[in-house]
């Protein structure tokens, strides 16, 4: 009995020493310093969560595609697109199938042969920030095909950026692939 009592008391004593000798450690994590405004950065707002994007473009512009636009990657057979350039401005008209005959195509975000839809993309539109792409939302493209080449007449094609609906670039004129 003495032995059991002595073992139990010793065990309780060791457990007590362990419990009371372990000191809770304070957090060593990084914490911001707050000014009088209770905001860590007194010169601006603290953004948490999603970032708000700012549109680099600020005003509507128009683009007239004409003879000064040179066809790039032009093919009269098995062509899926017409790409023309003038300096740094690039206009692309993309179709859902090869351009074999003429027709009227509605401008859409994705080219679709079944619905007679084509996609129009503008890179570096005039009087807009550089390296910004613009995508056709509405309008129509009338295509004519003959022995001289392929011509796509752009009629009131309104282009916007992917994430912003304003401002717009209004595109008119003819993009052609002529041999």
- Please give the pLDDT value at position 26: 61
For the residues of 107-166, what is the DSSP string, one character each? E-SS-BTTTTEEEEEEES-TTS-TT-EEEEEEEEEEEEEETTEEEEEEEEEEEE-SS---
Kindly state the greatest CA–CA separation across the chain.
115
Using DSSP, state whether 82 is helix, strand or coil: strand
Q: Which of 151, 178, 152 shows the shortest CA–CA distance to 75?
A: 178
**Does the structure show a pLDDT above 80 at 58?**
yes
In angstroms, the CA 124 to CA 179 distance is: 26
Predicted TM-score (pTM) above 0.75: no
Could you tell me the end-to-end alpha-carbon distance of the chain, in angstroms, rounded to an integer? 112
- β-strands 61-65, 169-178 pairing: parallel
**Does the structure show a pLDDT above 90 at 99?**
no
- Where are the domains positioned within the chain? 61-178
In angstroms, the CA 55 to CA 57 distance is: 5
| pLDDT 10s digits, 6-48 | 788 777 777 777 676 666 666 666 666 655 655 555 555 555 6
Q: What would the mean pLDDT of 41-63 be, rounded to a whole number?
A: 73
Considering only residues 147 and 47, tell me which one the structure prediction assigns the higher pLDDT.
147
Residues in the chain: 179
Q: Are 96 and 112 in contact (CB under 8 A)?
A: yes
């Amino acid at each position: 009995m003495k032995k059991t009592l002595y073992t139990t008391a010793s065990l309780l004593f060791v457990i007590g020493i362990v419990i009371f000798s372990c000191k809770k450690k304070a957090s060593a994590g990084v914490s911001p310093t707050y000014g009088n405004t209770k905001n860590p950065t007194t010169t601006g707002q603290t953004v948490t969560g999603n970032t708000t994007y700012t549109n680099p473009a600020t005003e509507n512009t128009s683009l007239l595609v004409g003879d000064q636009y040179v066809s790039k990657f032009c093919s009269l057979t098995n062509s899926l697109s017409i790409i023309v350039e003038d300096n740094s401005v690039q206009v692309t008209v993309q179709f859902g199938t090869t351009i074999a005959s003429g027709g009227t195509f509605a401008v859409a975000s994705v080219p679709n042969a079944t619905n007679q839809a084509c996609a129009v993309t503008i890179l570096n539109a005039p009087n807009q920030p550089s390296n910004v792409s613009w995508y056709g939302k509405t309008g129509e493209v009338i295509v004519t095909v003959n022995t001289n080449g392929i011509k796509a007449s752009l009629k009131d094609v309104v282009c916007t950026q992917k994430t912003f609906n304003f401002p717009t670039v209004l595109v008119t004129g003819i993009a052609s692939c002529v041999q």
